[in-house]
């Protein structure tokens, strides 16, 4: 089953509308992502304000706006023009300055060694060739640069949670069909090896998973499907957290060698 990246090209706001599935990324995942980002910056003694960051596969800009609010110069790239349109309009309304560019992770519209930080969240499981995207990421990062990623692991549990429960079973499916394909998921070992081959040394990988037990998750899904919860509220209640368990989703960082 191919990944359906066509949905990101649909007209209309798929991102900031709290009733849209993709909004779940903002309330469900962004808080844990930003906590992790802050932890890594502090560990590396890196002050984000004033740095140049590229958000690869930025969608509607929900994370890009958070990065801009931290004082970073943000370049945000996505191949879906409709998503970029939504992102630009929202940034204008919010008074946030972001340089949105049309482009894919395989061909980033940036000079070599031109950014301090690259962020790529929930994107690697949507691309056809992770190796090429990582090579491009390494190309645009300055020596001593930071790469922060999150993606979905390829395990029996991720097949159950993401594909069966999330997309297939009638009583539980809450994501658009074909949003994910299990064979596109990337294991931490595959990512470590592929990143290492292009000079991105993975320093850490930790789990990024729902913070509620499966029965609670099931009840929340049922309430979502009955219309009793928005996707925004659903995301907030799932309370994604950092964890040792990497069997479903994981987040991590890599660095390029100093010159």
Ligand X SMILES: C[S@@+](CC[C@H](N)C(=O)[O-])C[C@H]1O[C@@H](n2cnc3c(N)ncnc32)[C@H](O)[C@@H]1O
Task: Give the binding site for ligand X (CB under 6 A).
Answer: 5, 8, 25, 56-59, 62-63, 78-80, 83, 104-106, 121-123, 126-127
Contact 121, 235 (CB under 8 A): no
Q: Which one, 58 or 206, has the nearer CB to ligand X? A: 58
Q: Which one, 28 or 145, has the nearer CB to ligand X? A: 28
**Shortest separation between residue 77's beta carbon and ligand X, angstroms:** 7
Q: Which one, 144 or 177, has the nearer CB to ligand X? A: 177
**Shortest separation between residue 258's beta carbon and ligand X, angstroms:** 27
Q: Which one, 53 or 123, has the nearer CB to ligand X? A: 123
**Shortest separation between residue 183's beta carbon and ligand X, angstroms:** 16
Q: What does the CA dihedral 35, 41, 43, 45 come to, rounded to 10 degrees?
A: -150
**Shortest separation between residue 98's beta carbon and ligand X, angstroms:** 13
**Shortest separation between residue 206's beta carbon and ligand X, angstroms:** 17
Contact 60, 20 (CB under 8 A): no
Q: Which one, 5 or 187, has the nearer CB to ligand X? A: 5
* Alpha-carbon gap, residue 60 to 84, rounded angstroms: 6
Sorted by sequence, the CB contacts under 8 Å of residue 1 that are 6+ apart come out as 178, 181
- Taken in order 211, 26, 83, 64, the sign of the CA dihedral is negative
Sorted by sequence, the CB contacts under 8 Å of residue 18 that are 6+ apart come out as 230, 231, 232, 233
* Alpha-carbon gap, residue 244 to 103, rounded angstroms: 34
């Amino acid at each position: 089953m191919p990944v359906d990246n066509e949905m990101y090209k649909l007209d209309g706001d798929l991102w900031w509308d709290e009733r849209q599935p993709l909004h779940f990324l903002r309330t469900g995942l962004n808080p844990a992502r930003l906590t992790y980002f802050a932890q890594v910056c502090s560990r590396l003694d890196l002050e984000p304000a004033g740095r140049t960051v590229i958000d690869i596969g930025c969608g509607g800009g929900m994370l890009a706006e958070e990065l801009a609010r931290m004082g970073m110069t943000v370049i945000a790239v996505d191949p879906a023009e409709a998503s970029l349109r939504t992102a630009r309009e929202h940034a204008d309304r919010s008074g946030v300055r972001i340089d949105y560019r049309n482009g894919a992770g395989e061909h980033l519209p940036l000079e070599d060694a031109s950014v301090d930080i690259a962020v790529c969240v929930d994107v690697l499981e949507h691309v056809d060739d992770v190796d090429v995207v990582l090579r491009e990421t390494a190309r645009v990062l300055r020596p001593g640069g930071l790469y922060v990623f999150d993606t979905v692991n390829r395990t029996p549990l991720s097949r159950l949670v993401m594909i069966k429960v999330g997309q297939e079973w009638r009583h539980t499916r809450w994501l658009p069909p074909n949003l994910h394909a299990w064979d596109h998921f990337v294991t931490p070992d595959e990512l470590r090896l592929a990143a290492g081959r292009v000079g991105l040394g993975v320093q850490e990988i930790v789990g990024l998973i729902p913070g509620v037990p499966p029965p609670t998750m099931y009840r929340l899904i049922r309430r979502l499907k009955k219309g009793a919860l928005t996707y925004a509220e659903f995301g907030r209640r799932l309370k994604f957290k950092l964890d040792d368990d990497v069997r479903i989703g994981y987040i991590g960082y890599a660095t390029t060698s100093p010159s």
